[in-house]
Chains A and B, each alone.
Chain A
Amino acid sequence: MNAHTRTLLTVICEAALEKKLLADLETLGAPGWTLSDARGRGGRGVRSAGWEAEGNIRVEIICARDVAERIATHLQDRYYANFAMVCYLAQVEVLRAEKF
């Protein structure tokens, strides 16, 4: 098996941000992403996703380290102050390097 190292950036935030966030990812050069609904609890209390105003999303992006850092910095500057949002980076191994 021929594995390559890439960075997995996971962003969990309010569903209200979805459109804006995806537009940002596109501009910042994310090669692709996977989006799912999420619920949980954090600094802003229980986010139950019981109805639309409490919806949350999780976006996963696999990309090169510098792209991931650029996106993470942008998110921190732009959204951390006023929105429920966390993001974290992890090293992952992928099979097809050209995809990411």
Chain B
Amino acid sequence: MGLDPVVLFFVFGLTAGLLKSELKLPPALYETLSIILLLAIGLHGGVELAEQASWQLLGQAGLVLGLGVALPLLAFAVLRGLRFDRVNAAAVAAHYGSVSAGTFAVVVAYMLAKGIEFESYMPLFVAILEIPAILVGILLAKGIARDTDWGELGREIFLGKSIMLLLGGLIIGAIAGKEGIKPLEPLYTSMFKPVLAFFLLEMGLIASGQLGALKQFGLRLLGFALLMPLLGALVGALLARMMGLSLGGTAMLATLAASASYIAVPAAMRLALPEANPSLSLTASLGITFPFNILIGIPLYLALAERLIAWGL
């Protein structure tokens, strides 16, 4: 199988951006596409969740929450090892502890194209993984400082756009059920890939803009942004095996652990840790890690999941 066409759209956007083409999508379209994707992912998960809800799932959700705390700590340790200062290391670590819903959409499309089954409640894990890293990042930077406005920060985190859309979709899907959702089904069946393709075209353009800043930060950041997704994927995949997820589920949790946020966390960090350099985090997560995961990472994580299962883990 050659490259998935949605990935080619990403490469197209990246190339057009690097060539400094005039091509630009209106910002409102990018927002619209990301809203549709998040809702579609949420709805799909909700429909299946209603049929599979169990106590076991609650335990798994707890473990995933733990993963969300462990990942930023791991990232922070690596960053400090690379001699980044404390505040910037904490801010970047928060990005890498959290997840990218865009990367998740691509891994969903990838699994569907390959015909690999996965646990349909995965979107719930996306929502869970968005939250803890932001808090851990702030604590790593400042400790429990008095001047943090936790109320405002809580609103920013829990009522943020992507969490709202994912949870809203999940709940609507769960209430509506399989029959009720039929008229909306194209959102996550026939419409999903076209929307994802346009979204990735725009992501390619945005990512190319971030790459320009890489010169400024050099090899240390590049090294981190390539090393961290591999470490994260390994941790995520091992946890998934412990939880007894399927092959598809293992590869997906590995992908989630490998991905870095570029929407929810930058917005929260800008307000909570204004002294951190935002372009450091965005260059790493959007300029390097996102393209790496889309182009190379996802097939790699699937191979990792296959290998772990073959070893009987």
Q: Residues of A at under 8 Å CB distance from B?
A: 14, 16-17, 20, 48-53, 55, 79, 81-83
- Interface flag for B307 (CB, 8 Å): no
Report yes or no: B27 in contact with A14, Cβ–Cβ below 8 A.
Answer: no
Choice from B24, B271, B282 contacting A16 with Cβ under 8 Å:
B271
Report yes or no: B209 in contact with A50, Cβ–Cβ below 8 A.
Answer: yes
With A82-B274, A83-B274 known to touch, is A53 a contact of B267 (CB < 8 Å)?
yes
Q: Which residues of B contact A52 (CB under 8 A)?
A: 27, 31, 263, 267
Report yes or no: B24 in contact with A50, Cβ–Cβ below 8 A.
Answer: yes
The distance in angstroms between the C-alpha atoms of A83 and B278, with both chains bound, is 10
Report yes or no: A51 in contact with B27, Cβ–Cβ below 8 A.
Answer: yes
The distance in angstroms between the C-alpha atoms of A50 and B206, with both chains bound, is 8
Interface string of B23-55 (1 = CB under 8 A from A): 010010011000000000000000000000000
- Interface flag for B117 (CB, 8 Å): no
- Interface flag for B205 (CB, 8 Å): yes
- Interface flag for B275 (CB, 8 Å): yes
Report yes or no: B262 in contact with A53, Cβ–Cβ below 8 A.
Answer: yes
Q: Which residues of B contact A55 (CB under 8 A)?
A: 27
The distance in angstroms between the C-alpha atoms of A40 and B265, with both chains bound, is 24
CB-CB contacts below 8 Å: B231-287 with A: 262-263, 266-267, 270-271, 274-275, 278, 282
Report yes or no: A53 in contact with B282, Cβ–Cβ below 8 A.
Answer: yes
Report yes or no: B271 in contact with A20, Cβ–Cβ below 8 A.
Answer: yes
Cβ distance A36 to chain B, nearest Cβ, rounded Å: 14
The distance in angstroms between the C-alpha atoms of A16 and B282, with both chains bound, is 15
Q: Shortest 4 CB-CB distances between A and B: which pairs?
A: A82-B274, A16-B270, A53-B266, A82-B275
- 27 A-B pairs, CB-CB below 8 angstroms? A16-B270, A16-B271, A17-B271, A20-B271, A48-B209, A49-B27, A50-B27, A50-B30, A50-B206, A50-B209, A51-B27, A51-B30, A51-B202, A51-B206, A52-B31, A52-B263, A52-B267, A53-B262, A53-B266, A53-B278, A53-B282, A55-B27, A79-B274, A81-B274, A81-B275, A82-B274, A82-B275
Q: Which residues of B contact A16 (CB under 8 A)?
A: 267, 270-271
Q: Which residues of A contact B278 (CB under 8 A)?
A: 53
